[in-house]
Structure 1
Amino acid sequence: MWVRVTILGRCLTDGQLALYRIPRTKITYSNIKYDWGGWIMVGLESECGNGKRKSGGCQARCAADGATARVTAWTHTGIVVCASLALVIGAPARAGTDDAAGNAKAARAPVKPVTGRKKPAQAAAPATPPAQPGAAAPATVSRAWSAGPGTAPAPSAGGAVSPEVAKMIKFAAFDKLSMKGWITTVPPAAESIFQDPNGLRTALAEYGIGYVAYSTNTFTANMLNNAPPKPQTYQGQIPTTYSFSEVTVSYDLGRLGLTGGQLSVGTMLTGTTWEPLGPSGAKFANLYYFQSLMEDTVQLQAGVFYNAQNYLGLLVAASMATGPQALVPYELGLSRQGVPAPGANFMINLPNNFYNKAGVQRSISPDGADVEQQANPIGLGLSSPDAKALFIDEFGYKTFSSPAQGSVWVRAGGLYNTSPYFDFSAGRKTDTNWGFYAAADVQVSQISSAPYEAYQGYYVGGFYMTSDPNKNMYQNYYEGRVYGMGIIPGRPMDQTALIFGYTTLSKSALDFQAALTGIRPFGDYASVTVSNSFRLNPGVYLMLGTSYNVHPSATPRLKNSLNFMASLTTAF
């Protein structure tokens, strides 16, 4: 269907009109309501003053880069590509646009058939590096599931909706109902095994209900077989498995008049052959309220959830051998998969791609995940022994891949825990604990100039974390990485990574252990990891990796290890 809208164009490069802005448009299709608008990438088709329709708008050139121009055009609602999400909205059965005052008015459509239509370019997906294959990131999922297919098929002549476009409309609606709040990518419906099983997602979407279901299963083993089986002090010392599954259902509170609101509840099932990776069993994964305000400029989240997916980008900073407690944020009490906690987050998206996210949560028990599990077996507990407030703040800059630029994500933040922690220098518990982190990931090359392939290319990144040396065994963590998205010919959604990690242990902790046992532990740990994540099918990812680890165990002192890991992630 063609609707008449006023388009605001923005010149980007070479004087070409590359971005368009359309007013908020409300659409109803198959009893599902859509509400879209804002800046969109090239790919919009318009009917110009000369009666010809063309991709790229009615204005051939702009006066100067950065200039703006306003033009009224007939725009086909079947081809609207969102720059941030790479979603395609198809032609609706009924449509209307808002006037300058925001009042809905009827849209008029021309009756002549559409001819000579070009396929639109799809916006690039935000590319994020692969996780180092480690238990600290059990939910490792190929970020390529943000990339999506290449181009969208055009509607049939006369503005009728093709089956492909109709399917895209449905999946756009499904993803809009998916749980919100993560700083990492939530698995989209199109990138799942069953997609819309027997119309289940469609039926739920009619009532404002969406869901996300995924599972990750990892296997790690030291191929050198040079360590005693007991006691096990690192992942892979003996063959080690870990599995995590989650199903989260969300409800659109806009159905009740609370526009931008969402209520989510999830359950999880974990299992491991090495308890330090996390408590095994079934419990609630989350129960929280999310609210978006001012067109996503402000986001609020409150309830029970795990914050590891809301901050830092920990999926690129996992350690393969030592498990989650080797990561500074987990030492500091940050909630993670298998160990949720009550809290609240506030995020504001600032101008020029900057953002700030701040939050407070009830700390995980300073005595560890085992004590937390005993105090909070179902996952919804408001208290835990000695666990008090943990404050966290992150400031960052984030851009997505496009033909004009590669993706950039720079962030830094701090954590402050008011809970009492064991002080190695004092030999007893004392109040508070703290930590700081900084990270960056930059796309340095692009393989293709096509908008929907802009995420493909090479990246470099780094991570630094530090903490109070008197309260934490693992004081500093350094990481450098080089990785690629779609760099293997014929494998556009695979990820390949080379990661170097180095951890130093606290001198206070080493002195305490030496005085207690008479043996001084190793003071550092280093690793080199090579991994590749294969996208086998929509919703099926197999990651294979090897990691050479120097000092994999601080105490007892064990020989270096060469760990093999396989991780299968599936989304349903």
Structure 2
Amino acid sequence: MAADHVRFRPTTKQSGLAIALSIAACLVGNPSPTQAAEVARSKGEPQDEAGKRTIQSKADAISRADHRHKNAAGSRADIPVAVNKRKADNVTNYTIQKKPDPFAKFANLREKGLVVSIPGPADTVVQDAGGVRSALAELGIGYLLWSQVTYTNNLLPNAAKSTIANQLYNGQNPTFNTVNYMWVTYDLSRYGIPDGQIVVGAEEQSWTWQPGGPDRLGINTISYYQTLWDKKVELKLGYLRNSHEFAGTVVGGNAGSNVFGPSSSILFQGGLSAAPAPTPALNLKYNFDDHLYTKVSFQRADSPDGLFTQITENPTGLNWSTAHAGVLYLDETGYLNKAAPGSPQTWLRAGAGYNTSSYKSWALPNRQRTDPNTFYYIAADRQFWQTNAQDAASRGIYAGFSVMGAPPDLNTVSQYYELRFYVNGPFDWRPTDQFSVVATNTVWSKLAVDAALAKGNLVHWDSKAIAATYTAHLAPGIYTSIGLTYINNPTSITYIPQIGHALNFSVSTNIFF
């Protein structure tokens, strides 16, 4: 009613001026939402600029007062609504704002230069309990412990069960093995070294079937890492396990996901250092851009007589070399596009190795030693479908293949083929699980087969296998894998009819601390 009275009441110039000044004073005392936003933005700015805006606001208010006094009540009624709306928007903005990641401070303390994805502190059992990790991080120190327990057993009734001492392949009898790792990292970037890092790691493993291991306690790695020329070059040297630096032999790239199943021995018979058998090496990686790279290694080769001999002769891993071992020169060139929203993952790589070690030759009488040895590999993995690109781009369906080869005169395995299909995050309620199916064909050296035939043995030319594995991420830092692997000819080249086939059931648990 007051508004109506103002609207229709005739006014003089003096009364209109008085009303205008009154309304202007009211508007200056209760700024509009636009003015309030301007004031909020001006906080912290020089006082003279703020003063200019205040004076201009008052002048604008006075000049518009004659128009505003006609619906002053309506305007005043609108101001609380606008203010309340602004408050609601502020609450909404605050609610949807992402919380800072409390584990981001540990990112620089994870081991660098690997192609295998090992869970970080957020995906461990202890996480930052008691603030221990945070306290160590303040000193530039990070750590990770990994414990793995695996059980394998052939389910077929005609497996020619034997004593453990006479066992011919993993799973012929119920086979257990445990592997325990510990890594400690030290951040050197705090001293101005680009991405600088020192890593010291130890490994302990135990097997009921010694040829699968054997038992050992020793180093896993002692390494120095840094980048050069704005990350164009990555340098890593020390006692390295190059099986975690080249080729990408772990399905899906996650160390907690595919911990058993078919894998090629070509890389290891060619001298590539493995996790239980690190050797001195210098690795240099050149990044042409964010995707294309080439990586070379100058590595003291593992024993030419195999991984078992390497570990037996050098269980601690600290020896510079073993008998007959030379130098492995290795190069890998590849293209890696990591998964991102709307951009599926693609990884193409090809590598070749040249080993100066002295190998026993299948082509020479009494297997006399000769050198050098070589090998090559080609591999590709592609993400064909992203199931939740915005929240977890790596979730989806993948497929890949590997082809590897080595000279048949110096190697027991001369060819290896692998096809793989895997799903990361197969279900919405299991977004960090993995399911994989891997088919392989291992082809034996023709010269090695002929040598076995000459001795009157039953032989086979290859060994085919198919493995299905489901890995459940049960809790932070805890993974359990259950797998079933059918193997045609599970032994090496020679066999007896009772062990021509195997159906291995495996279960493995990985715990990260």
TM-score (norm 2): 0.77
Aligned to 1:534: 472
Count of aligned pairs between the two proteins: 418
Q: CA RMSD in A?
A: 2.5
In the alignment, the residues of structure 2 paired with residue 299 and residue 538 of structure 1 have an alpha-carbon distance, to the nearest angstrom, of 31
Query: What residue is the counterpart of 1:204 in the other structure?
Result: 136
* Contact 1:320–1:547 under 8 Å retained in 2: no
1:184 paired with 2:116, answer yes
Task: Supply the distance in 2 between the matched residues of 1:489 and 1:260 (Cα, whole angstroms).
Answer: 36
Unaligned runs of 5+ in 1: 1-49, 54-111, 120-151, 156-163
Q: Does structure 1 conserve the Cα–Cα contact (< 8 Å) formed by 2:489 and 2:495?
A: no
Give 1:115's aligned residue: 90
Q: Is the 8 A contact 2:161 2:172 kept in 1?
A: yes
Structure 2 CA distance for aligned equivalents of residues 287 and 566 of structure 1 = 31
d(CA) in 1 for partners of 2:175 and 2:502?
14
**Residue 201 of structure 1: SS of its match in structure 2?**
helix
Q: Which residue of 1 aligns with 2:502?
A: 561
Q: What is the alpha-carbon distance in structure 2 between the residues aligned to residue 153 and residue 267 of structure 1?
A: 44
Residues 349 and 518 (structure 1 numbering): CA distance in 2 closer, same or farther, change over 3 Å? Answer: same
Report the counterpart of residue 60 of structure 2 in structure 1: none
User: Shift of the alpha carbon at 1:500?
Assistant: 1.0
- Alignment partner of 2:213 out of 278, 300, 314: 278
Q: Residues of 1 paired with 2:158 and 2:259: CA distance? A: 20
Alignment of 1:368-517 (within 5 A): 368-426=306-364, 427-450=367-390, 452-515=391-454, 517=455
**In structure 2, do the counterparts of structure 1 residues 352 and 203 end up closer, same or farther at CA, with 3 Å as the change threshold?**
closer
Change (3 A) 1:468 1:193: same
What is the CA-CA distance between 1:541 and the residue it aligns to? 0.6
Distance in 2 (CA, whole Å) between partners of 1:245 and 1:369 is: 18
Aligned-residue offset at 1:513: 1.9
SS in 2 for 1:242: strand
How far the C-alpha of 1:531 sits from its partner, in A, is 1.1
Q: Which has the larger radius of gyration?
A: 2
CA distance 1:295–1:358, change in 2 (3 Å): same
Q: Secondary structure at the match of 1:445?
A: strand
Residue 113 to residue 571, structure 1, CA distance change in 2 (3 Å) = farther
In the TM superposition, 1:93-492 aligns within 5 A as: 115=90, 154=97, 165=100, 168-169=101-102, 171-230=103-162, 231-316=166-251, 327-351=265-289, 353-426=291-364, 427-450=367-390, 452-492=391-431
Contact 1:411/1:440, CA 8 A, preserved across alignment: yes
Structure 1 position 420, deviation (Å): 0.7
Question: Quick check: which one's strand share is greater?
Answer: 1
Shift of the 486–428 alpha-carbon distance from structure 1 to 2, 3 Å rule, reads: same
More deviation, 461-470/173-182 = 173-182
SS state of the match for residue 565, structure 1? strand
Q: CA deviation at 1:289?
A: 0.7
TM-score where L is the length of structure 1: 0.69
Cα offset for 1:278? Answer: 2.2
Tell me the distance in 2 between the aligned counterparts of 1:535 and 1:363: 36
| Counterpart Cα distance in 1 of 2:376 and 2:206 | 31
Question: 5+ residue gaps in structure 2?
Answer: 1-36, 41-86, 253-257
AA partner of residue 395 (structure 1) = T
Contact 1:179/1:212 (<8 A) preserved:
no
Q: Is the 8 A contact 1:511 1:520 kept in 2?
A: no
Between Structure 1 and Structure 2, the one with more helix by share is: 2
Asked if the contact 2:268/2:307 (under 8 Å) is kept, the reply is: no
Q: 1-side partners of 2:188 and 2:88: how far apart?
A: 39
CA distance in 2, matches of 1:378, 1:153: 52
CA deviation string 1:16-45 (max 9, x = no partner): xxxxxxxxxxxxxxxxxxxxxxxxxxxxxx
Aligned residue type for 1:468: P
The amino acid that maps onto 1:467 is: A
> How far is 1:204 from its partner?
0.7
Q: Distance in 1 between matches of 2:440 and 2:434?
A: 19
